[in-house]
Amino acid sequence: MATRQRLVVLGTFVHCRTRQELDFFHNAALGVDADGKIAGFVKDRGDVGAARDELLRTLGWDGDEVQVVQAEEGQFFFPGFIDTHIHASQYANAGIFGKSTLMDWLGTYTFPLEASLSDLSKARRVYSTCIRRTLSHGTTTAAYFATIDVAATNLLADLCLAMGQRAFVGRVCMDARDTSPTYYVDESPAAGAAATMRTVEHMRGIDPRGELVTPILTPRFAPTCTAEGMRALAAVQRATGLPVQTHVSENADEIALVAARFPGAASYVGVYDEHGLLTPRTILAHGVHLSGGEAALVAARGAKVAHCPCSNTALASGVARVRWLWEQGVTVGLGTDMSGGYSPSMLDAARQAAMVSRYVAMGADNDAKDWAKLTVEEVLYLATRGGAEVVGLEGRIGGFEVGKDWDAQLVGLHAVGPAGLGGDGLDGDLNDDGLEDASAAADGNVDVFGWETWEDRVAKWLFNGDDRNTKRVWVRGRLVHSRR
Amino acid sequence: MATRQRLVVLGTFVHCRTRQELDFFHNAALGVDADGKIAGFVKDRGDVGAARDELLRTLGWDGDEVQVVQAEEGQFFFPGFIDTHIHASQYANAGIFGKSTLMDWLGTYTFPLEASLSDLSKARRVYSTCIRRTLSHGTTTAAYFATIDVAATNLLADLCLAMGQRAFVGRVCMDARDTSPTYYVDESPAAGAAATMRTVEHMRGIDPRGELVTPILTPRFAPTCTAEGMRALAAVQRATGLPVQTHVSENADEIALVAARFPGAASYVGVYDEHGLLTPRTILAHGVHLSGGEAALVAARGAKVAHCPCSNTALASGVARVRWLWEQGVTVGLGTDMSGGYSPSMLDAARQAAMVSRYVAMGADNDAKDWAKLTVEEVLYLATRGGAEVVGLEGRIGGFEVGKDWDAQLVGLHAVGPAGLGGDGLDGDLNDDGLEDASAAADGNVDVFGWETWEDRVAKWLFNGDDRNTKRVWVRGRLVHSRR
């Protein structure tokens, strides 16, 4: 990675201290070194000037040689979001799913679109738009499913690297010819594994140390994979230590299909375990209907779960129990699962995790209703530190600690003026054509009146925020998105 | 109302023909007369020029004397949304609700904020912002709860009139001193009715024919109303024919409280019926837990239900069964119930109605799963024609028919260029500072690639659209919101 100018970042910083608590650091100064790492963090001084001076002195940096980024009044820095499950190839279908459920959704909407991305100009159009949009929503790290096509998968990796998004990029393996579409299936288990290796080699070529882009082994899911194909990927995993991603226990029909295809397996999770794919580096998307025994096996192997609330509701797959998973010892992150989930926004995914937890609560006994609900803090934890644990980067991203990478977003909300949101017409101050105050439009829908606590502001951002509130985004110290 | 310049509106028009089907009228021309009514509508001609010429000829209008509004390529006109249940006074709390449920939410967050709006400068700030934002989301008609304060309620009506939003404005009546906060309660049943009459008189003064602003009798709900107070409002209703709005059967604790306070009543709905408030002009918010008998009574009286999906999930109140209500013969519209629901956006409410219906489906027998789900068309019906029926204006708003008022929004989505969403960096076309394509930012998050059907575009709008897609808004022919 190119050496960059050092950054000194000034203002208010918010991150998750624990699942239960946010830290708010005001009048703080954070230094980012030329490798994009947090080199120093001076917090809660009397003013940012004092913090900046102390930071520069401690680090021995010359204030004239650094780039200064200062948050405006009311803005705050927040860790970048980590999307632990997203299909870049399905971006063009976001919002199009009708009344389908998983298996008919795949056949009707998803496989045809994915297959069509073997046209590289189409793939480039869809992938670059997906990356640009997810960056604009504050997603600094994404675990992507691409398609079965090698060249298009490699293109996705190239684009992530060029546009500066940290990514795990997986060529989708689906080699079961009885359950995959005839037009979208690997030639054979061996051909599938070989194709995957070509994408692994490509990514090692463009990013030798895996600083930004990492290949990830991606058996689509047990319904469309053969035992031989899964064993071949498991052998690659053992030899390379690469991460793995797949789906598990999303939908009742899918679970029944797996039971029918693998009658000897102890369970759906057991299928992956018995084929060598349930590793500490494995991300299992969904896990909606896991049994207690399956959750225990996931925890024992150290595999992780990507909770995908939007998708689970949109496709009526079921209601995943995050707190129950936590209590079983399972590490959980958050995924948009776009386009099973309609939104590519991780802020929306966090919001929907809170909403889905209300359904868990509504279905629980009285004593457990409050227990089941996820708080603002908890869903933001899922979107940041939880996700970092799921992708195995908890030592590098997810919070603002010295030594971690500067993967962050600057969040700004709209401050309502003393007279309200301009143009009420009572004093003749409404334009003839009803034009809205431009700043209110540009700043998004979160209106701060001034009396809110910082906790309230974060809650307002979670529930009504959108990409307009994400003013700037950095990955490893590089500015990768900015909004006027 | 002031006479305005006639409008000729050109382009594609989309509205709900039935609950099941959208109409798409391309190359169409619609004429709006000086009173804001649709005077003519020429549809599906070869091009808009032909449609325009035919419209002018038919109406006998001079083309040089009309104002022409032409949709850009890909844009479409859609009926304005009708929010059948929204608390303008709670706007400042949108997104702030913690893990509360209805009764503690009221005491912790809601009553203190509402009470504080007796400060008219604060009320003006909150109300003008609420109206400006809901207009920007395409809400052309709103059924508002204000507060118990007369002056602040009258101010809300003044602001709606000045800013051009069609509104039903209700002073909140809560006269039960044992269940209302000591700091926020009517002096007596008689005092509450008298205060309400002062708001009715005020609104009759500012809008004598109720063309834009209509008073609505607003007993908060049975838990905070006395029998005497409800009877007093019912007497006003019989004398004036004014509409009524209240809440019913939202939450288990609320229902238990009503049963305890009105032990002689047949049911919660029965309480309103027995006190004369269950009329054809009554809007009942929520109706989550209605029994079959209660739904039958609602249908028999011709009262209406405002479905509030966001609120019901956020406060974990329950899962309302819209299709079941329809089958019981109940008329249903959609409400944001902001701030019980965190979003003031009716597009979001429609989206969440689709999502909540998935929970109804997940809880249903296999045969009824598909039945329970609401389609894109159905939730947009709820937000437009359904809402018009709920507020008793189905003859004036909700669709594009000659004789109806021009209450409409112009919707524009983002067209992705041939190279994708610019700046992928591969050809050196990414700005050094990562600045995003400005048009993509301004046009919002709905990316249209060009191969989508019109039905797909509407689905994309429903699921990923926001106020950026609502380019202009008209009420009774007046442009009340515009976005650059």
Distance (Å) from the alpha carbon of A92 to chain B's nearest alpha carbon: 7
pLDDT in tens, A414-428: 999 988 875 655 444
pLDDT in tens, B425-476: 554 444 444 445 556 667 899 999 999 999 999 999 999 999 999 999 999 9
What per-residue string of b and e applies to B115-149 under the rule 16 or more CB within 10 Å gives b? bbbeeeebbbbbbbbbbbbbbbbbbbbbbbbbbbb
- Intervals of chain B under pLDDT 70: 1-3, 422-441
Find the CB nearest A95 among B125, B422, B460: B460
Cβ atoms of B310 and A463 within 8 Å: the answer is: no
Distance (Å) from the alpha carbon of B296 to chain A's nearest alpha carbon: 26
Does A316 contact B483 at a Cβ distance shorter than 8 Å?
A: no
Cβ atoms of A184 and A148 within 8 Å: the answer is: yes
Could you tell me which residues are beta bridge partners of residue B479? B474
- Domain at A1-79+399-415+435-483: CATH code: 2.30.40.10
CA distance B103 to B357: 25
> Which chain A residues are within 8 Å of B418, Cβ to Cβ?
125
Mutate to test the interface with A, among B308, B378, B421 (most CBs of A within 10 A): B421
Asked if the interface predicted TM-score (ipTM) of this complex is over 0.85, the answer is yes
DSSP state of B386: I
CA distance B436 to B421: 9
pLDDT in tens, A76-99: 999 999 999 999 999 999 999 999
The yes-or-no verdict on residue A483 having pLDDT over 70 is yes
Contacts of A428 (CB under 8 A, 6+ apart): none
Q: What is the predicted pLDDT for the residue at B421?
A: 73
What per-residue string of b and e applies to A416-451 under the rule 16 or more CB within 10 Å gives b? beebbbbbbbbeeebeeebbbbeebbbbbbbbbbee
Q: What is the predicted pLDDT for the residue at A97?
A: 97
Size of chain A in residues:
484
CA distance A298 to A266: 13
Domain ranges for chain A: 1-79+399-415+435-483, 81-391
| Radius of gyration from C-alpha coordinates of chain A | 23
Q: Where does the pLDDT of residue A4 fall: very low under 50, low under 70, confident under 90, or very high at 90 and above?
A: confident
> Which chain A residues are within 8 Å of B213, Cβ to Cβ?
none
Does B434 contact A164 at a Cβ distance shorter than 8 Å?
A: yes
CA distance B23 to B44: 11
Tell whether A46 lies on the interface with B, counting CB pairs under 8 A. no
Tell whether B373 lies on the interface with A, counting CB pairs under 8 A. yes
DSSP state of A91: G
CA distance B173 to B190: 11
Distance (Å) from the alpha carbon of A374 to chain B's nearest alpha carbon: 8
Tell whether B176 lies on the interface with A, counting CB pairs under 8 A. no
Does B466 contact A462 at a Cβ distance shorter than 8 Å?
A: no
Peptide bond into B317 cis (omega under 30): no
Report how far apart, in Å, the C-alpha atoms of A17 and of each of A20, A291, A398, A399 are: 8, 31, 10, 8
Find the CB nearest A125 among B343, B370, B416: B416
Q: Tokens standing for A312? A: 């689970």
The architecture (CATH level 2) of B81-391 comes to Alpha-Beta Barrel (3.20)
CA distance A403 to A396: 7
Find the CB nearest A445 among B158, B164, B467: B467
Contacts of A109 (CB under 8 A, 6+ apart): A93, A96, A97, A98, A100, A339
- Dihedral sign (CA B121, B126, B132, B135): negative
Q: What is the predicted pLDDT for the residue at B440?
A: 66
CA distance B146 to B152: 8
Q: Where does the pLDDT of residue A251 fall: very low under 50, low under 70, confident under 90, or very high at 90 and above?
A: very high
Report how far apart, in Å, the C-alpha atoms of B167 and of each of B130, B282, B393 are: 12, 15, 12
Same fold for the domain at A1-79+399-415+435-483 and the one at A81-391?
no
A contact residues 308-337, partner B, Cβ 8 Å cutoff? 313-316, 318-319
More confident residue, B404 or A3: B404
Distance (Å) from the alpha carbon of B46 to chain A's nearest alpha carbon: 29
Percent of chain B as helix, strand, coil, to the nearest 5: 40, 20, 35
What per-residue string of b and e applies to B38-56 under the rule 16 or more CB within 10 Å gives b? bbbbbbebeebeebbeebb
Closest residue in B to A461 (Cα–Cα):
B95
> Which chain B residues are within 8 Å of A422, Cβ to Cβ?
132
User: How many Å separate Cα A312 from the centre of its chain?
Assistant: 16
- Three-state secondary structure call for residue A206: helix
> Which chain B residues are within 8 Å of A91, Cβ to Cβ?
447
Find the CB nearest A132 among B314, B355, B423: B423
Q: Tokens standing for A435? A: 């034009």
CA distance A374 to B171: 35
DSSP string, B179-246: TS-TTS--S-HHHHHHHHHHHHHHHHHHSTT-SSEEE-BEE--GGG--HHHHHHHHHHHHHH---EEE
